[in-house]
Amino acid sequence: MGVKRIDPFIVGILLAFALGLLWPASDGVRTGISWAGDVLVAILFFLYGLRLRTSEVLAGLTNVKVQGLIFASTYIVFPLIGLAIHPLLAPVLGEGFANGFLYLAFLPSTIQSSVTFTSIAKGDTAAAVCAATFSNVIGMFLTPLYVLIFMNIEGASAGSISSVLTQLLLPFIVGQILQIKLGDRIRKYPKQLKVYDQGTVVVIVLGAVLDSTAANTWDGVTPLQIVVLIAVSCVLLAIILALTWYASAWLKVGRPGQIAVLMCGSKKSLATGLPMAQAIFPAALIGPIAVPVIIFHQIQLLVCAVIASRLGREESDVAR
């Protein structure tokens, strides 16, 4: 038996994270990477619209069980867990980091990585697109509301949903319009589309870590706190992964729907979370609140990349 090759996707995420920590990138470089990430994501959703048949999108949108499970995981189960562990974490990590995990629990799901991992795992990508996009749109209102109610923070702002509409939904709709003529052609290149999916996630990780490093987010964090933060993030992720996987199996949503629930219902968005934190919290609170979000985000990407790759290989083996 030969040595199993390490998934280059995992290597890419780890290298991007390490580079983001060590590279003192200038403002111009970070702005350029951020702009490149925005463009890549817009193209990504255009390609999703192009490759998905409209009938598949409508089926995903009307899959009530899948959509309901993802929403419940993101905005009911996750917040309940966050509220339950907050009083336990405060004495160990301090109020700032404990608030960070509570804020994390209130965030919407990721969009690009949730959909990308669902696609890689050969799940219901159409349902994932609808659920993850809806999660972010409704999160602009629900997340600040949860913060106001449960964290006693005044002056919350829901931000703007224009970037979600213009960067994600609009390219997807354009792709859907063009897929009637071009869909069959683009679907002939699944390997190239997979490489693009994964490359986009790596660029997003690099940009996010570079920005957090430049903002001195890691200053003042002790090694022991990092260990505890990582351990809590791993346990929290394991709980939510198990709940989404087995709950969707119990409700018999089918394997593609089960994968969509797993990938969308277990994620929390760094791209939405950090800008929203700047609008919601006083400047002095943003640093400690951001650290748990950053750590959980990187762990969820790494773990879900492994799971998505494995599920995708299992489906390929079955197809043979």
Q: Tell me, what CATH number does 200's domain have?
A: 1.20.1530.20
Give me the sign of the Cα torsion angle 176, 167, 133, 44.
Answer: positive
What's the CA gap between 12 and 198, in Å, rounded? Answer: 9
Is 6 part of any domain?
no
Give the model's pLDDT for residue 213. 81
Query: Cβ distance 268 to 79 under 8 Å?
Result: no
Residue position matching structure tokens 């989404």: 244
pTM of the model: 0.73
Is 2 part of any domain?
no
Is 3 part of any domain?
no
Give the model's pLDDT for residue 22. 87
Give the range of the structural domain holding residue 141, as residue numbers without chain letter: 11-16+25-312
Give me the sign of the Cα torsion angle 226, 227, 228, 234.
Answer: positive
Give the model's pLDDT for residue 64. 83
Give the model's pLDDT for residue 236. 96
Give the model's pLDDT for residue 73. 95
Cα-Cα-Cα-Cα dihedral of 288, 17, 194, 174, to 10°?
50
Give the model's pLDDT for residue 25. 86
Is 299 part of any domain?
yes
Is 318 part of any domain?
no
Is 202 part of any domain?
yes
Tokens standing for 32? Answer: 């350029």
Give the model's pLDDT for residue 159. 47
DSSP string spanning the chain? -PPPPPPHHHHHHHHHHHHHHH----HHHHHHHHHHHHHHHHHHHHHHHHHS-HHHHHHHHT-HHHHHHHHHIIIIIHHHHHHHHHHHHHHHH-HHHHHHHHHHHHSPPPSHHHHHHHHHTT--HHHHHHHHHHHHHHHHHHHHHHHHHHS---S-----SHHHIIIIIHHHHHHHHHHHHHHHHHTT-HHHHHHHHHHHHHHHHHHHHHHHHHTTTTTT--HHHHHHHHHHHHHHHHHHHHHHHHHHHHTT--HHHHHHHHHHHT---HHHHHHHHHHHS-HHHHHHHHHHHHHHHHHHHHHHHHHHHHHHHHHHHHH-
Tokens standing for 92? Answer: 């160990």
Residue 68 CB coordination number (10 Å): 14
Give the model's pLDDT for residue 196. 84
Tens digit of each residue's pLDDT, the chain (320 residues): 444 566 677 788 788 888 988 888 888 988 898 888 878 878 887 887 887 777 766 666 677 888 899 999 999 999 999 999 999 999 988 888 899 999 999 998 987 788 889 988 989 888 888 888 777 767 777 888 888 889 865 544 444 445 556 766 788 888 888 888 888 888 888 788 878 877 887 887 788 778 878 877 667 678 888 899 999 999 999 999 999 999 999 999 889 999 999 999 999 987 777 767 766 777 567 777 888 888 898 899 889 989 998 898 876 555 55
Exposed, middle or buried by CB within 10 Å (0-12, 13-18, 19+), for 225?
A: middle
What's the CA gap between 144 and 225, in Å, rounded? Answer: 27
Tokens standing for 164? Answer: 């979600």
What lies within 8 Å, CB to CB, of 1 at 6+ separation is: none
Q: What is the CA radius of gyration of the chain?
A: 19
Q: Give the count of domains, the chain.
A: 1
Query: Cβ distance 211 to 83 under 8 Å?
Result: no
Is 138 part of any domain?
yes
Q: Among candidates 4, 15, 5, which has minimal Cα distance to 199?
A: 15
Give me the sign of the Cα torsion angle 199, 275, 75, 92.
Answer: positive
Cα-Cα-Cα-Cα dihedral of 110, 112, 114, 120, to 10°?
-170
Give the model's pLDDT for residue 316. 59
Is 109 part of any domain?
yes
Give the model's pLDDT for residue 85. 94
